[in-house]
Amino acid sequence: MTSAASILLVDDDFHLADSMAMWLREMGYEVVTAESLGTAKSSLRKRSFDLVITDLRLGHEDGFDLIAYSRKEHPDTSVLVVTGYATPATAVEAVRAGAYDLLTKPLIDEELTLAIERSVHQRKISQENETLRQQLDRRSGMENILSHDYRMLKVFDVVDSVADARASVLITGENGTGKSMIARAIHSRSARRSGPFIEVACGALPDNLLESELFGHVAGAFTGATGNRLGKFQLADGGTLFLDEIATATPAMQVKLLRVLQEFQFEPLGGSETHSVDTRVILATNEDLSKAVASGAFRQDLYYRVNVVNIVIPPLRERVGDIPLLVDHFLREAAEASDRDIDGFDREAIAALQSYGWPGNVRQLENVVERAVLLSRNSTLTMEDLPPELTGRNGDVTFASSAIDSASSPTRSLSDLSGRSLREALEGPERIIILQSLREHQWNRAATAEALDINRTTLYKKMKRLGLDDPRLQYAS
């Protein structure tokens, strides 16, 4: 029994109510009595109660009105009905109206005590569940965004503040810092959470395909357009559209984006019908858009439109204190996925992880931890399990040594060309150039293709032909 529980006792029979109140107080409850519906409502407006015990007949008034009022104005308060005119149908109706239980007069002390204890206990459970739900809601969408850094905590506060706003949000930060996760967190914590979340990597598509991807197209709009197709803006209607790598949009695409962000209206590619959407837009870039505006590469009016709220994600090297937390999280995930029993990194290895610059940020850290778990033979991970770029050691796994030897000795290379075709002779230097660029861009193939001024399909074919598609190469020196 909860002795501190408060009860509002409502009955038009004053003597019965007074007698029952006295008995309940002796049981340890705090009791307030009311003789009418108006008095009961007045008491409920003044304070909250754990439980309302009411008769269904209050003179000429109906106890169902009190049940409805309590359910609407005080949903956390349980209602226990006590009546001398109960039928099975009355009991069902009372429970449907919001009553926790119904007892019939004359009352049995033990029956009433048990009913009160159950209702008060149920109220406590409901309150605990609500508290838990609120705690989960506060973390909803940010379950995998782990940080103790004060700048990231400020980011979390901004996410909460702008989650339900209609305004565009611009997320900036280096590659691998988690811009997509922040965008998803904003969506998950907004009133649009039940709607779609659609992500588009603007840099991965040429301009004409990007326009079709975003706005859709009609049949015959271009070669191969055999039917109408909805764009991402329409598919994200009622939800959130996340435009990543927005700085790569061409001037023509920037004009189209400016209009849809201002008016939320557009025409599909090749069509004349105007469509309106209710789509929340979040954008991201790893570039400094203010510099792009100054150089003329990015429209100033579009910059002001997308930069209503700017969330800046700090790079991992500036929040070293988060590294042990992230390492522990990634280690547990990798160990579980590979069915390995791993205790963790030793102090020297953790120190090395914290002293590294992390050009690939959190994404690179995750890869390093996964590599260590997969390649280590021991339960404790050490410096030996870290890749060469973190330790300064030469890698113990080497690939294409003949190509590297040839590059370091031009005279020898020239002497070995006899009997080889030009393509075969160029494979060694070509492989070295591609491998070096892949490493410089943390094996990001899109960035590598752009740096080498070739398209991604060509890069993939070359990597396969030159043996660079082996995933173990990522962990070699």
Cis peptide before 359 (omega within 30 of 0): no
Instruction: Say what the pLDDT of residue 402 is.
Output: 39
Instruction: Say what the pLDDT of residue 236 is.
Output: 94
pLDDT in tens, 134-145: 554 444 555 557
Mean pLDDT, residues 418-440 taken together? 74
Least confident of 104-108, 228-232, 322-326, 377-381: 104-108
Is a pLDDT exceeding 80 seen at residue 108?
no
Instruction: Say what the pLDDT of residue 296 is.
Output: 93
Angle between helices 422-440 and 456-465 (to 10 degrees): 120
Q: 413 or 82: which carries more pLDDT confidence?
A: 82
Does the domain formed by 317-391 have CATH 1.20.1090.10? no
- The pLDDT-based confidence of 403 (bands split at 50, 70, 90) is very low
Least confident of 169-173, 195-199, 325-329, 420-424: 420-424
Task: Return phi, psi of residue 380, to 5°.
Answer: -100, 125
Mean pLDDT, residues 224-244 taken together? 91
Q: Count of residues for the chain?
A: 477
Rg (CA), the chain: 34
Instruction: Say what the pLDDT of residue 413 is.
Output: 44
Q: Helix (H, G, I), strand (E, B), or coil: what is residue 237?
A: coil
- The pLDDT-based confidence of 129 (bands split at 50, 70, 90) is low
Percentage of residues of the chain with pLDDT beyond 70: 86
Instruction: Say what the pLDDT of residue 2 is.
Output: 44
pLDDT in tens, 251-289: 989 999 999 999 999 999 888 899 999 999 999 999 999
- The pLDDT-based confidence of 452 (bands split at 50, 70, 90) is confident
Is a pLDDT exceeding 50 seen at residue 400?
no
Taking the C-alpha atoms of 370, 373, 374 and 378 in order, what is their torsion angle to the nearest 10 degrees? 170
Per-domain residue ranges of the chain = 6-136, 150-314, 317-391, 401-475
Does the domain formed by 150-314 have CATH 3.40.50.300? yes
Is a pLDDT exceeding 60 seen at residue 80?
yes
Largest CA distance in the chain: 117
Same CATH topology for 150-314 and 401-475?
Answer: no
pLDDT in tens, 343-364: 999 989 998 898 889 999 999 9
The answer to whether the CB of 358 falls within 8 A of the CB of 315 is: yes
Distance CA 182, CA 347 (A): 31
Indicate the pairing of strand 78-83 with strand 51-54. Answer: parallel
Least confident of 125-129, 229-233, 451-455: 125-129
Indicate the pairing of strand 265-266 with strand 275-276. Answer: antiparallel
Amino acid at 144: N
CATH of 401-475, one of 3.40.50, 2.60.40, 1.10.10, 3.30.70: 1.10.10
- The pLDDT-based confidence of 339 (bands split at 50, 70, 90) is confident
Q: What is the mean pLDDT of the chain?
A: 83
pLDDT in tens, 112-125: 888 888 888 777 77
- The pLDDT-based confidence of 64 (bands split at 50, 70, 90) is confident
Instruction: Say what the pLDDT of residue 422 is.
Output: 65
Is a pLDDT exceeding 60 seen at residue 90?
yes
Instruction: Say what the pLDDT of residue 130 is.
Output: 62
Instruction: Say what the pLDDT of residue 472 is.
Output: 59
Instruction: Say what the pLDDT of residue 399 is.
Output: 37
Is a pLDDT exceeding 50 seen at residue 167?
yes
Handedness of CA 81, 84, 85, 88 (dihedral sign): positive
Q: 395 or 280: which carries more pLDDT confidence?
A: 280
CATH code for the part of the protein at 6-136: 3.40.50.2300
Percentage of residues of the chain with pLDDT beyond 90: 30
HEC letters along 411-462: HHHHHCCCCCCHHHHHHHHHHHHHHHHHHHCCCCHHHHHHHCCCCHHHHHHH
Distance CA 175, CA 310 (A): 16
Is a pLDDT exceeding 60 seen at residue 84?
yes
Instruction: Say what the pLDDT of residue 284 is.
Output: 95
The answer to whether the CB of 8 falls within 8 A of the CB of 53 is: yes
pLDDT in tens, 10-62: 888 888 888 888 888 888 888 999 888 888 889 989 888 888 988 888 878 88
Least confident of 72-81, 163-172, 413-422, 462-471: 413-422
The answer to whether the CB of 219 falls within 8 A of the CB of 225 is: yes
